[in-house]
Chain A
Amino acid sequence: MSEVPQLELRGVAKSYEGGRVRALRGVDLVVARGESLAIVGPSGSGKSTLLAVLGTLERPDAGEVLLAGRSVWSAGSDLAAVRALELGFVFQLYNLVPVLSARENVELALHGRVAARAERRRRALDWLERLGLGDRAEARASVLSGGERQRVALARALVNDPPLLLADEPTGALDRASGQHLLAELRQLVRERGKTLVLVTHDPAVAEACDRRARLVDGAFA
């Protein structure tokens, strides 16, 4: 494979509480562009920690994290820009700002990146429409259904058009129908837009829908 992988972990270790909790113990991982990977494993095995490390939210104690071939923790790297432009996060509990509308929630990801208000608005509406939420754009996040909220969160993750999507149990709080709807959106993004997807899931059906599965047990791939 001559192409630089979308992301790569080399010997990543992370422990908490002064080394007493070893959440990740020397993890290696390569994910190619346009690939979708499901991370599975028992709870407490380090899945969320792994995703946080991939998303630059957690600095590993040892090892290297490379996004598109660049080491993210090297001196001079702009973490805020990496988080905004290189990757998009989707959380299990959506993490929307309840008092803001769907559109305003999506625009949050454009603050400080796109100066013009009208442009922010246009881009946010564009993504909401693509995800089938055009008519819900001005509704407050607090009145949306779980499925709608998660699609708003997906729009927020995508609005800067990052190549990599990270999702921690994205269907975990959704009913079956909403979960399938979201999964269909994610698969389409990978297939038609060439996004790379890494998600954590407990649901075998979701894991099956990905190109590859990796199982974490006690902070290491089994």
Chain B
Amino acid sequence: MSLALRNLSRRPLRSSLALCGVAIGVAAYVALVSIADGFVVTLTRIGQLGQPDLVVQTRGVVDPILSAIPEPVLIELRADPALAEVDTYATHVARQRAQPFFLVFGLAAGGASWRSCRIEEGAAPRTGEREVLIGRLAAERLEVALGGELEASGGALRVCGIFSSTNALLAGSAVTTAEQHHALFPDRPLAQLAFLHFAPQIDRRAWRARFEERHATLQTLEPSRFTDAYPELDLGRQLARAVSWIACLAAAIGVLNTMMMNVLERTREIGTLLAIGWTRARVLRMILAEGLVLALLGGAAGLALGALGAQITVAWLDWVLVTAQLRTRTLLEGGALALVLGVLGSLVPALRAARLAPSEALRYE
């Protein structure tokens, strides 16, 4: 370890450049995956609005925005004695100048999500008026005050009140009642998703089976596994991976180039080590250790850089829907990635060093 560090310090500039390459590769991986994960977390939060037991949506939709619960089904659910509560929401994307992806929620009046919004200023929207409540977070981001206006298709919306919510998604959006929402945006359904809360002592599995049998066009989901219904979300992660692979490939080539030059430059020294009785395995390990130390130092810097980079990117994007979710797993993967880069970059140089013919290596100038 100290020998590896000492050998790397012989060519400080060369070593630092390779180290930076690894740092950038690992940082790209950590930052991009964290952002992709953050997106999934946001969506999971949609499925957990009001902490339901079960979520109902249209079978097979690729995005919750494409789901719609037919009115007769809503009536049937609300009449079901097995259910203590049926909460719903619908969304409309209202493009704002400062935030292109701004959501206006239509929540079931008096439902769990509605109750999670505490009006701090102003009052609830009046029926028939183009009024909405805005979350505190959104009000700050968009710099809209009570009585201000939001842009929306079909005309501006007046902000009749400002609410706070523990749900970051709602706090960063605008909210109105389901009926009002449907009236404002007639192409949007009354309910996109339904969130079910069971009455005590109900056989949930049996209820679920019966429900899905009766309504073939709908599907039920566990709230915590809500995002499993959207394999397309993996696209974001895959994209994040693909982009970071490219950065990592460059990093591996950087390590490879550095270690190759190190071995070439130290040919005579390696010949000497073989002449004084070092085994080929020991020479191999020495070069591998140098590559690994290089990559691990770069990796450590990359993890810190990536974690910071994800936060900065998200802050810079300024979208409520995009948060960075830095998971331990991502950090571990970033560390493993550095390790792989170190091995990939130094394996060929190490094998080359270990295979040197000692007398030829000793002649090398």
Contact = CB atoms under 8 A, between A and B. Distances in A.
A157 B362 CA distance: 16
A112 B278 contact: yes
Interface in A26-52: 49, 52
Contacts of B7: 99
B55 interface: no
Contacts of A111: 278, 282
B276 A100 contact: no
Given A83-B275, A112-B282, A99 B362 contact: no
A171 interface: no
Size category, B interface: 20 to 34
Q: Interface centre among B6, B10, B275, B279, by most A CB within 10 Å?
A: B275
Interface stretch (A84-92, A118-126, A129-137, A193-201): A84-92
A156 B276 contact: yes
Contacts of A113: 277
Interface in B343-361: 358-359
A157 B276 contact: yes
A100 B362 contact: no
A176 B277 CA distance: 31
Nearest to B361: A57
B178 to A, nearest CB: 73
A108 interface: yes
Contacts of A83: 274-277
Contact of B277 (A52, A85, A91, A100): A85
A57 B268 contact: no
A58 interface: yes
Given A80-B278, A156-B276, A58 B359 contact: yes
A97 B6 CA distance: 10
B109 interface: no
B85 interface: no
A95 B6 contact: no
A57 B277 CA distance: 10
Contacts of B273: 108
Contacts of B274: 57, 80, 83
Contact of B276 (A52, A58, A89, A99): A89
B139 to A, nearest CB: 61
A52 B6 contact: no
Given A89-B275, A112-B278, A52 B269 contact: no
Contacts of B269: 95, 97
23 contacts: A49-B359, A52-B358, A57-B362, A58-B359, A80-B277, A80-B278, A80-B280, A81-B277, A85-B277, A89-B272, A89-B276, A95-B268, A95-B362, A98-B10, A99-B7, A99-B10, A108-B273, A108-B276, A111-B282, A112-B277, A112-B279, A112-B282, A160-B277
